[in-house]
Amino acid sequence: MAEGHVMQYKTVRFYLNGRDVEKTVDVRASLTDLLRDDFSQTSVKKGCEVGECGACNVLIDGEAFNSCIYLAIWADGKHIRTLEGLLGPNGELSDIQQAFVDEAAIQCGFCTPGFILSAVEILESGKEYTDDELRKLLSGHLCRCTGYENILRAVKKTMYRRLGKPMPAD
Amino acid sequence: MSKSVGKSEIRVDAYEKAAGRAKYVEDLCGRNTLVARILHSTVAHGIVKSVDTSEAEKVPGVLKILTCFDAPQDRPFPTAGHPWSTDPKHQDVADRCLLNRHVRYYGDDVAVVIAEDEVAAAQGVRALRAEYEALPFVLDVQEAMADGAPQLHQGYDHNILAHTSIRNGDYQKAIAEPGLIRVEGWYDTPTVQHCHIENFGCYAYEEAGRVVVVSSTQIPHITKRVVAQALGLPWGKVRVVKPYVGGGFGNKQDALYEPLCAWCSVEMGGRPVKLICSREETFVSNRVRHAIRSHIVSWVRPDGTYAARKLECFSNQGGYASHGHGICAKGMGAFPQLYPCPNVECDAYTVYTNRPVAGAMRGYGIPQAMFAVECHTDDVCRAIGADPVEFRRKNLMPVGFVDGFSKNELYADTFNQCMDKGMAAMDYVRKYKAYQHQTGDVRRGVGLAVFWYNTAVWPISMESSSCRMVLNQDGSLQFQTGETEIGQGCDTAYSQMVADAVGVPFADVHVITRQDTDITPYGTGAYASRQTYIGGFSIMQTAQALRERILNIAHEQTRMPVSNLDLQDGQIVRKTDGRVLKSLGELATESLYSMEHSQHITAETTAQIKSNAYSFGCSFAEVEVDIPMCKVKLLNMVNVHDCGRLINPALAEAQVHGGMSMAIGYGLSEEEKFDPKTGRVLNDNLLDYKLSTMMDHPRLDAEFVENYEPTNPFGTKSLGEPPTCSGAPAIRNAIFQATGVAVDRCPATPHVLFEAFREAGLIQG
Amino acid sequence: MYDMKALYEAASVADAVALRTAHPEAQIIAGGSDVLVQMRAGKRAGKELISIYGIDALRGVSLDGEENLRIGSLTSFSHITRDPLIQKYLNVLGEAVDQVGGPQIRNIGTIGGNTCNGVTSADSASTLHAYEAVIELTGPDGVRREPIRDFYIKAGQVDLRPGEIQTAILIPKASYENTFGHYIKYAMRSAMDIATLGTSVNVRLTADKKRIDRCRIAFGVAGPVPLRAEHAEAAANGKEISAALADTFAKTVLEDINPRDSWRASRAFRQHIAVESARRAFVESVRLAGGEL
């Protein structure tokens, strides 16, 4: 039982929020561990550690991934974005973050970072989605506070704002 | 005076949370904090004979193993998040130890491994070998009450933790009235879990000879007391800190693992130790909602009035007392009030079983009670051919009703107003008519349910709140209360109240959200939907004290009589001519740095609250039932609440959405399942436990009726828990209208519907 | 931090085969959404892993020289759904894997991983069975191909031999040409769920669109591994399209399936849902193929 693991480390080089970074990591680490422990990206939350809640979601090469079930070594060569990376140089909120604030889409705040990053992937597609499509695209995140209602509205409003179209009435 | 109250101010913590800067427990503890992990029992009931630690000790990185043989067994402590009672008869049942030799559910705490990192801790736990003398176990609440059932705790005959009754009028005599129609039903509600997205976690260390616990808790001051009781320390030796909390919903209204974590740190010489629950532990070894089985018999006159009613409810407590009988008793208390009837018999039993421990959960017994009562109301309507809305209008608590015990009064025609608003939003009348007498595979239905809820805990328990305000040199101020922000938004509502009560702009009010029992004035925490109601008293009282000090200082500085002065919007105003004499900032700066009479301007008061308020409302649901597929699709849902005056309409609406979502899960999908052979929870994860996703919801409509609550300084009352209370029976009643099948249990999963539809002959198979 | 003994990274298929040969006890990890979860649960704790996630050559969908569809084993579910060839020739597969978990899981989960872990509930598996997919495996002795039916040995076990990795899944042209299918995932919620039952039907109609030329149906969770319902297929093949045929077809699946009682669902429940799903998926497939019902 106590047979120790063969310690292995690997140096990974990747882009974190646009910055070229390098770190030698324990191969056993998840991407959540790497981002939280080595880069202080504490917006990456741990809610289940098995890919069922979406709190640890980050963008890897533009797509949403649960970083808890993604090995840290796989980050090598990737472009990784976290919620911290959405802020402007002086801490300004991006439009989607501001929409979460304005629409009262935040309560306890624990699912918020993951949701916002999925929203970023949706918004950056430049497409117009129906409510049902948005619900599906955001369905990989669990929230216990909001009933999802205002989260959906925040994403939808930002989508229409970016598309330069008025938001249709419910 | 109202400037901020009533406005949809942006949450005071919204920026931190949207920017990812809000720090929760696990974000705060240092990287080198030791990791504690628990060995949980693999029998539902038994005696631990031994724990072999030899292999675990060899795991590199394992520093210490503490077992139930190390933990004191003669110093049991209570865990419920209730105010301490100085009357021993009113104290919560003390039946917990740090680790248990007599284990009472599958998942009980047997040993703990303290290691340098999480992998070593996990390996250490896997290497432990516990031997048990297995005892017979019982999972069902009524089986646990039967003669010969396994006994969980000494001194609780038939495992009955408590039994209380209500007797009004003469039930036996009343049922002899000729022509009565008897309607009887049994209604079952499931074991569900809170599922806050942040699991419970804490870390502990010693500083200057005292134990500090940083915890994701709703009740820092109560937890301080419980940690001290559990460790046998003077209460002043413990300090509890609450940072941002990722939801609680009642689970964190208990001392969970703070005592164990604190003990681990003490045993490690005060080194920091963290104990962060996994999701699996959250499902099994934290707290759950009581599964309650209710039996209702109603004797109804053909004219649609009640002659006599009877309720028995059986509440499944699980292995330890936690909040105990309070939950079932609260539900029973609603019964004679919601539909007043002169002849009522009620009995509530809370019973130990070998299931996970039930504690507080959003609604505190009312979702269970409303499921039973409001399903039954529609059963009665069906039996006598009454319209569900008209029947309720006729029988619900009338305006002017006063409850003798709480002295609560229904001041407004709340139920009718809420139902009217909900019917309009749902287009109920048209739909109800259209959905009568359907045939075919796919059918629709609408249903409603009302709820009764009581704000806060007076007169069952002490109610008080303390508040401190400290003025800055610029005229802005900090304030603190002991009531806890856990995501629900009370910090924002409080800030609005403070702004108006003191007379400063909302932007000049700074809430200290991080609570620290060394610094934060005493308050019992977040529960019973009490924050805005109870906190409002101490905020108003402290604001008045602060204003008085400020105006006295203004008098010193301006020589104007106090009676001619006012503080409005951060300005000292002479009331007689409206002239602004100086800003509050100028006053504060001058006061603080005065060479003659330097003063630091603060106020702190405690308000004891000996009142309480009803908070009522209703839910409407529209469903589409695919009979062959045994599936319900929720098409529309409306909740209407009268929570008095809305402090922040946008946050109130958001809070209702969340409660509706929880009610949807309760009605349709959520339940913990148990292996009958072992007592193990089978679905202890977010994949197998069916919390609704965004795709499982329709648009949620939250509506309000605002009747100013006269007992509260801000005219407000509870809203946190009420949205969870009536959704599930509304869904059930909608399914009932659609199919004619009365499903007397929730959740109405496809498995339950399959059996019900088969029995009703709607499907073969 | 995962409790693994060692991790080996393969940069190419040859590399992976060499690592498999050198470390026969090691577990292959593709996207990790199953393997890492099991490792955390203690099931595979302390084991060695061979990561093939970095082999980009195993990603993507193409047509080979014989116009067979070739899906690289590491192609993620979301990429399969979005792929133009899949949308054109095998849209039902794209729709099926678009119901796996949630969006993030569909970005990490791979079709190779989905089939290699041998579970009956895999959302891709029933459709691949219904299309008689061919599994391509590469090992020390080169490439071999095996019908998917033979690849599944028993619950949780597939025919992955020493030194081998799965490199592609092929759908023969004859299998997808003029064929239209529909998948019904029956689950307890609309996202983030595993199938209580998966039903995949496809049909090829006669030129006049009046008759069933070929009908195939496969289920997940109707037995220990995904399975075809051959009696039901036989009951439909060559028959004139009608509502009665849909009913007959659907009821006949009971001769083929063998679901079990578990805490997730009873046998009777799964049987009931299988019949109803078969009927609905059949009707929808016929409609997609241009038939009238």
B229-255 pLDDT, tens digit each:
999 999 999 999 999 999 999 999 999
Q: Measured between alpha carbons, how far is C35 from C112 in angstroms, rounded to an integer?
A: 13
CA torsion sign, C59 to C61 to C62 to C64?
positive
CA angle B210, B215, B218 (to 5 degrees): 120
pLDDT digits (tens, 9 = 90+) for B186-200: 999 999 999 999 999
- Do B106 and B43 contact (CB within 8 A), yes or no? yes
ipTM of the complex: 0.97
3.30.450.40, 3.30.70.270, 3.30.70.380, 3.90.1170.50: which CATH number matches B32-135+200-276?
Answer: 3.90.1170.50
Task: Return the SS3 of B698.
Answer: coil
**Within this chain, do residues C164 and C190 fall inside the same structural domain, yes or no?**
no
Run of H or E residues at B238: strand B238-242
Residues paired with B257 in a beta bridge: none
Q: Of the residues C174, C200, C229, which one is the last residue of a structural domain?
A: C174
Task: Return the SS3 of B754.
Answer: helix
- Name the H helices within B6-57: 14-19, 25-28, 54-57
Q: Which of C102, C189, C272 sits opposite B763 (nearest CB)?
A: C272
Between strands B291-300 and B306-318, the pairing is antiparallel
Would you say residue C81 lies in a domain?
yes
Closest CA to B164 of B309, B351, B356: B351
Angle between helix axes B750-759 and C267-288 (nearest 10 degrees) is 100
Distances (CA, A) of B520 to B475, B478, B480, B514: 21, 12, 6, 9
CB contact under 8 Å between B693 and C272, yes or no, is no
b or e along C222-245 (b: 16 or more beta carbons within 10 Å of the residue's beta carbon)? Answer: bbbbbbbbeebbebbbebebeeeb
B752 to chain C nearest CA, in Å?
10
Structure tokens at C200: 């995949």
| Residue C194 near chain B (CB below 8 Å) | yes
CA angle B28, B201, A101 (to 5 degrees): 65
Closest CA to C3 of B57, B112, B123: B123
C177 to chain A nearest CA, in Å?
29
C146 to chain A nearest CA, in Å?
30
- Look at residue A170 in the predicted model and tell me its pLDDT: 73
Would you say residue C16 lies in a domain?
yes
- Do C248 and C234 contact (CB within 8 A), yes or no? no
**Within this chain, do residues C65 and C160 fall inside the same structural domain, yes or no?**
yes
What's CA C206's distance to the chain center, in Å? 27
CB contact under 8 Å between B687 and C193, yes or no, is yes
- Look at residue A5 in the predicted model and tell me its pLDDT: 57
Run of H or E residues at B591: helix B584-592
Instruction: Tell me which residue has tokens 């005599």.
Output: B173
**Within this chain, do residues C155 and C68 fall inside the same structural domain, yes or no?**
yes
Q: Measured between alpha carbons, how far is B150 from B143 in angstroms, rounded to an integer?
A: 9
A96 to chain C nearest CA, in Å?
19
pLDDT digits (tens, 9 = 90+) for B252-298: 999 999 999 999 999 999 999 999 999 999 999 999 999 999 999 99
Run of H or E residues at B727: helix B727-739
Between strands B238-242 and B210-215, the pairing is parallel
Q: Measured between alpha carbons, how far is B314 from B316 in angstroms, rounded to an integer?
A: 7
Find, in chain B, the residue whose alpha carbon is nearest to that of C192.
Answer: B687
Domain B291-457+612-759 has CATH 3.30.365.10: yes
Between strands A19-26 and A9-16, the pairing is antiparallel
Q: Measured between alpha carbons, how far is C72 from C60 in angstroms, rounded to an integer?
A: 5
- Look at residue A6 in the predicted model and tell me its pLDDT: 66
pLDDT digits (tens, 9 = 90+) for B550-586: 999 999 999 999 999 999 999 999 999 999 999 999 9
Residue type, B667: G
Does residue A169 have a pLDDT over 90? Answer: no
Closest CA to B703 of B764, B646, B761, B631: B646
Q: Which of C4, C36, C103 sits opposite A5 (nearest CB)?
A: C4
Q: Which of A50, A112, A135 sits opposite B17 (nearest CB)?
A: A112
Does residue A43 have a pLDDT over 60? Answer: yes
A144 to chain B nearest CA, in Å?
6
What's CA C85's distance to the chain center, in Å? 17
**Within this chain, do residues C185 and C213 fall inside the same structural domain, yes or no?**
yes
**What residues in B contact A88, CB-CB < 8 Å?**
none
Task: Return the SS3 of C86.
Answer: helix
Counting runs of H as helices and runs of E as strands, what totals does chain C give? 13, 14
Would you say residue C36 lies in a domain?
yes
**What residues in A contact C32, CB-CB < 8 Å?**
69-71
| Residue C186 near chain B (CB below 8 Å) | yes
Find, in chain C, the residue whose alpha carbon is nearest to that of B681.
Answer: C263
**Within this chain, do residues C61 and C166 fall inside the same structural domain, yes or no?**
yes
Q: How confident is the model at residue C251 (pLDDT cuts 50, 70, 90)?
A: very high
B371 to chain A nearest CA, in Å?
20
Query: What domains are there in chain A, each with its CATH number?
Result: 9-84 (3.10.20.30), 95-163 (1.10.150.120)
| Residue C7 near chain B (CB below 8 Å) | no
Q: Measured between alpha carbons, how far is B732 from B623 in angstroms, rounded to an integer?
A: 9
Question: Rounded mean pLDDT of B385-401?
Answer: 97
- Do B57 and A1 contact (CB within 8 A), yes or no? no
Percent over 90 (pLDDT), chain B: 98
Between strands C48-51 and C6-9, the pairing is parallel
- Name the H helices within C171-256: 173-176, 230-236, 243-252
C91 to chain B nearest CA, in Å?
22
**What residues in C contact A28, CB-CB < 8 Å?**
1-4, 7
Residues 6+ apart with CB under 8 A from B303: none
**What residues in A contact B659, CB-CB < 8 Å?**
147
Find, in chain C, the residue whose alpha carbon is nearest to that of B628.
Answer: C276
Give chains near A: 3+ CB pairs under 8 A: B, C
Run of H or E residues at B391: helix B388-395
Does residue B450 have a pLDDT over 70? Answer: yes
| Residue C43 near chain B (CB below 8 Å) | no
Does residue A159 have a pLDDT over 60? Answer: yes
3.20.20.30, 3.30.450.20, 3.30.390.50, 3.30.365.10: which CATH number matches B14-21+464-510+518-608?
Answer: 3.30.365.10
Residue type, B399: V
| Residue A32 near chain C (CB below 8 Å) | no
Whether cis (ω within 30° of 0) applies to the bond prior to B459 is yes
Report chain B residues touching chain C, CB-CB < 8 A. Answer: 117-119, 122-123, 126, 628-630, 669, 673, 675, 682-683, 686-688, 690, 692-696, 749-751, 754, 763, 765
Q: Give the single-character DSSP code of B371.
A: H
Q: Measured between alpha carbons, how far is B577 from C137 in angstroms, rounded to an integer?
A: 92
Q: Which of C2, C3, C188 sits opposite B669 (nearest CB)?
A: C188
The residue of A144, A155, A170 whose CB has the most chain B CBs within 10 angstroms, and thus the best one to mutate to test that interface, is: A144
CB contact under 8 Å between A110 and B650, yes or no, is no
Distances (CA, A) of B515 to B228, B231, B249: 18, 22, 18
Residue C73 structural domain: 57-174
pLDDT digits (tens, 9 = 90+) for A141-150: 999 999 999 9
Q: What is the count of structural domains for chain C?
A: 3
**Within this chain, do residues C215 and C115 fall inside the same structural domain, yes or no?**
no
**Within this chain, do residues C123 and C47 fall inside the same structural domain, yes or no?**
no
Task: Report the 10 Å Cβ neighbour count for B278.
Answer: 21
B695 to chain C nearest CA, in Å?
6
**What residues in B contact C283, CB-CB < 8 Å?**
none
**Within this chain, do residues C63 and C165 fall inside the same structural domain, yes or no?**
yes
Report chain C residues touching chain A, CB-CB < 8 A. Answer: 1-7, 9, 29, 32-33, 36-37, 40, 46, 51, 53-54, 78, 101-105, 107-108, 190-192
- Name the H helices within B76-205: 118-127, 141-145, 171-174
A124 to chain B nearest CA, in Å?
19
For chain B, what are the domain ranges?
14-21+464-510+518-608, 32-135+200-276, 291-457+612-759
Q: Measured between alpha carbons, how far is A80 from C133 in angstroms, rounded to an integer?
A: 35
Beta-carbon contacts below 8 Å between A and C: 92
Q: Measured between alpha carbons, how far is B548 from B544 in angstroms, rounded to an integer?
A: 6
Run of H or E residues at B758: helix B750-759
What's CA B261's distance to the chain center, in Å? 24
CB contact under 8 Å between C269 and B630, yes or no, is yes
Structure tokens at B333: 């208390």
- Look at residue A144 in the predicted model and tell me its pLDDT: 98
**Within this chain, do residues C65 and C164 fall inside the same structural domain, yes or no?**
yes
CB contact under 8 Å between B750 and C1, yes or no, is no
The residue of A56, A67, A110 whose CB has the most chain B CBs within 10 angstroms, and thus the best one to mutate to test that interface, is: A110
- Name the H helices within chain A: 31-33, 39, 95-102, 112-124, 131-137, 149-163
Task: Report the 10 Å Cβ neighbour count for B134.
Answer: 13
**What residues in A contact B15, CB-CB < 8 Å?**
93, 101
CB contact under 8 Å between B673 and C263, yes or no, is yes
B278 to chain C nearest CA, in Å?
11
**What residues in A contact C103, CB-CB < 8 Å?**
64, 118, 136-140
Closest CA to B351 of B193, B157, B188: B157
Q: Measured between alpha carbons, how far is B396 from A103 in angstroms, rounded to an integer?
A: 36
Residue type, B233: L
Task: Return the SS3 of A110.
Answer: coil
Q: Measured between alpha carbons, how far is C217 from B645 in angstroms, rounded to an integer?
A: 60
CATH code, domain carrying C181? 3.30.390.50
- Look at residue B688 in the predicted model and tell me its pLDDT: 97
| Phi, then psi, of B431 in degrees rounded to 5 | -65, -40
pLDDT digits (tens, 9 = 90+) for A114-141: 999 999 999 999 999 999 999 999 999 9
- Look at residue A2 in the predicted model and tell me its pLDDT: 38
Question: Rounded mean pLDDT of C119-144?
Answer: 97
Would you say residue C293 lies in a domain?
no
Q: How confident is the model at residue B765 (pLDDT cuts 50, 70, 90)?
A: low
Q: Measured between alpha carbons, how far is B206 from C108 in angstroms, rounded to an integer?
A: 43
**What residues in A contact B249, CB-CB < 8 Å?**
144
Does residue B696 have a pLDDT over 50? Answer: yes
Q: How confident is the model at residue A7 (pLDDT cuts 50, 70, 90)?
A: confident
Instruction: Tell me which residue has tokens 């209008």.
Output: B393
Residues paired with B617 in a beta bridge: B451, B641
Find, in chain C, the residue whose alpha carbon is nearest to that of A134.
Answer: C103
**Do B14-21+464-510+518-608 and B291-457+612-759 have matching folds?**
yes
CB contact under 8 Å between C189 and B692, yes or no, is yes
**Within this chain, do residues C111 and C169 fall inside the same structural domain, yes or no?**
yes
**Within this chain, do residues C29 and C67 fall inside the same structural domain, yes or no?**
no
What's CA B321's distance to the chain center, in Å? 17
Counting every residue written for chain B, the total comes to 765
Find, in chain A, the residue whose alpha carbon is nearest to that of C109.
Answer: A65
Q: What is the dihedral of CA B502, B504, B509, B515, to 10 degrees?
A: 0
**What residues in C contact B127, CB-CB < 8 Å?**
none
Distances (CA, A) of B703 to B414, B426, B700: 13, 11, 10
Find, in chain A, the residue whose alpha carbon is nearest to that of B649.
Answer: A104
- Look at residue A4 in the predicted model and tell me its pLDDT: 53
Does residue A1 have a pLDDT over 50? Answer: no
**Within this chain, do residues C278 and C259 fall inside the same structural domain, yes or no?**
yes
CB contact under 8 Å between A140 and C6, yes or no, is no
**What residues in C contact A50, CB-CB < 8 Å?**
36-37, 40
- Look at residue B764 in the predicted model and tell me its pLDDT: 85
Q: Measured between alpha carbons, how far is C219 from C207 in angstroms, rounded to an integer?
A: 28
| Residue A5 near chain C (CB below 8 Å) | yes
- Look at residue B614 in the predicted model and tell me its pLDDT: 95
Any idea which of B89-93, B207-211, B472-476, B745-749 has the lowest mean pLDDT?
Answer: B89-93
The residue of B668, B751, B755 whose CB has the most chain C CBs within 10 angstroms, and thus the best one to mutate to test that interface, is: B751
